[in-house]
Structure 1
């Protein structure tokens, strides 16, 4: 009996020692506790240093419907993303379009002497509206995929475009300004004796460069295999390297998307298949760019006149039925040049195309090459046409105010 009790006592002692050992092994010494807390604190500090700035940014308004598209656009533009401190805006406003403002600015490289190596740039910033912001990012994505000597190059995109949903990107700076600015500053705002002569051969050379850019765009495809178009071919979007039309290089810029921008749509430049079916959300196709190119040619022949100046929407639609499509024959305009304009303003299937072979009379590049040869040694000049109002109401297109917003 005593032997069994001794055995029980020994087993109890063994169990007690095992429990004590297990408890001792699970116990952390003060130094181990300090080390664990220090490790957790270091990990939290490293996370905050890396992601803290993003965490402190205000939540973008109405960003939820665009999350999936923004994720794709960020992947496309990832190689151009830089911190916003490397893009600087000035007070010099260059203009504004359907989706945002354009300012003169600078882009700084990531070096110690970055302030000595700044690069001039045209910086575009969107209006503080979600749809406009998305439109500007779409424009940047389109520009990032295009590489041609006659297309404005995209330099950088601010990271704030996606963290704060206030897109801003920088494009190469062209000191000559736009072709519309050239006509305004060098022709229309000067006395007749001070105006620079504008030769047909120089205008045709600029149009040929724009045609080369459109050919490249129309022959390109996006990631889904869809065709590219420009959608806003006009003098205001033709940028020049200098103000000498004989030697300058012309580049096509402003790849804005004409989607639901109301009064900001370039109605006087758009073809009838779009203007007459805006309620059905028509798609802009390459032949639509051909029509707009014809209107661009007319702008050049009039030295910067505005097509359908102060006509109402209904008047513009009615003018499409006229033989000249509402764009009157400019004085001293060569017949072959005018014939090319009328071909661009014809029915969709009859318009010259920029894509494809250039040895066909249906090719716009072929027609432009013929005009280049024809006027290579000509002294023919274009003369200015003053705009004449045909408006019949108080709310014509050029007086439609911009939507109200404040620059933040």
Structure 2
């Protein structure tokens, strides 16, 4: 019988050999393991590496919850940034970003042959502006009407890098304000096309249809949709012929929430008078006031409302019979009566929603005016921007700074 100590030593040696043998990896096993790790890392980088290379986003902690909601609302329109292309042709800028001419490519092999011209909007590099632009895109995505500009695509960079960019349908005629500026006011009188009252009413009726659709729609909270920036610069045309053009309402920004670029000359008194005290609530009646200012713009063929007036001057004008917007020459009586009704007290303004056969329906009144003028030669004439003030407060002969709340 072997000694007990020898048996114990032998057992320990066997155990040590078994442990060493089990933990040993052959060189080939090491190579295979390292290669597998490399392949996994490569596949991950191919899938997620683009996000790693992107610049760090702005501080978005306060907006995380809202960003998730907006991403869900715009999920059906999200595309990779390679499918949205910007050109160097700047079309303009608004309260929350720039607008460029660009293209949207379909997801096909021949995508470069099937590109669609678009107006691409990109936000300023500030979190509050970025959220504002995404809010605008979410509002547009919920609306579907032939007289409202359609949203085509939203870049995924809007959420991955928090630099929102979305594409809207392209309208070759430009805005109504550009039409008045380029085709009317920048030309000699004998070169200007005749702008008939019926043609203007045709454009306004189409804008009114868009507002009717919006005011009868509801958001997720059951509140009425409002446009908040109804003006000639936001009425887009399919062509530069008012007699045959289709008008579409665009730019669904939130001007009330972005102070330094407030469209004060277009806003109603209930909004302007509350800017310095509280956050004003924009209601459908506010859109009706702005539509009245738009109608005045059309009757003057592109004049500036409240030209060279300060905010205090504009507030004083709210007490005047004509609200500070003088009646243009060659303006029909019923047309001017309609403008003044739009610029009346909030509860007396005509409505776009509701029964169309009602006397308070704005669309019915415009259609009646259109039927009375479509066979006539009634036309509008240019009203020049005139200011008799020479004081430095109004900055005569110099452009006004951006309007801001008091």
TM over 0.5: yes
Between stretches 134-143 and 362-371, larger displacement belongs to 362-371
Q: 2:317, 2:74 → 1: CA distance?
A: 42
Contact 1:309 1:390 in 2 (8 A): no
Matching residue of 2:339: 341
Task: Tell me, yes or no, if structure 1 residue 99 matches structure 2 residue 88.
Answer: no
Matching residue of 1:382: 380
Contact 2:57 2:162 in 1 (8 A): yes
Q: 1:401, 1:342 → 2: CA distance?
A: 27
Which of structure 1's runs of 4+ aligned residues deviate more than 6 A? 5-16
Superposition deviation, residue 64 in structure 1 = 2.3
SS in 1 for 2:74: helix
Q: 2:131, 2:208 → 1: CA distance?
A: 28
Aligned ranges 1:322-333 → 2 under 5 Å: 322-333=320-331
SS in 1 for 2:255: coil
TM-superposition CA deviations, 1:44-99 (whole Å, max 9, x none): 21111111110111112232222222222122222222222222222222111111
Aligned ranges 1:40-51 → 2 under 5 Å: 40-51=37-48
Matching residue of 1:282: 280
Matching residue of 1:159: 156
Matching residue of 2:356: 358
Matching residue of 1:135: 132
Q: 1:54 aligns with which of 45, 51, 54?
A: 51
Q: 1:181 aligns with which of 164, 174, 178?
A: 178
Matching residue of 1:406: none
Matching residue of 1:112: 109
TM-superposition CA deviations, 1:94-117 (whole Å, max 9, x none): 111111111112222233322222
Superposition deviation, residue 136 in structure 1 = 1.2
Superposition deviation, residue 7 in structure 1 = 9.2
Which consecutive unaligned segments of at least 5 residues does structure 2 have? Answer: none
SS in 1 for 2:213: helix
SS in 1 for 2:58: coil
Q: 1:7, 1:60 → 2: CA distance?
A: 72
* TM-score w.r.t. length of structure 1: 0.91
Contact 2:261 2:402 in 1 (8 A): no
Q: 1:162, 1:45 → 2: CA distance?
A: 24
Contact 1:310 1:390 in 2 (8 A): no
What is the Cα-based RMSD across aligned positions, in Å?
2.3
TM-superposition CA deviations, 1:147-186 (whole Å, max 9, x none): 1110111111222222222222111111111111111111
Between stretches 89-98 and 267-276, larger displacement belongs to 89-98
SS in 2 for 1:161: helix
* TM-score w.r.t. length of structure 2: 0.91
TM-superposition CA deviations, 1:121-164 (whole Å, max 9, x none): 11112222222122111111111111111011111122222222
Which consecutive unaligned segments of at least 5 residues does structure 1 have? Answer: 404-408
Q: 2:263, 2:229 → 1: CA distance?
A: 7
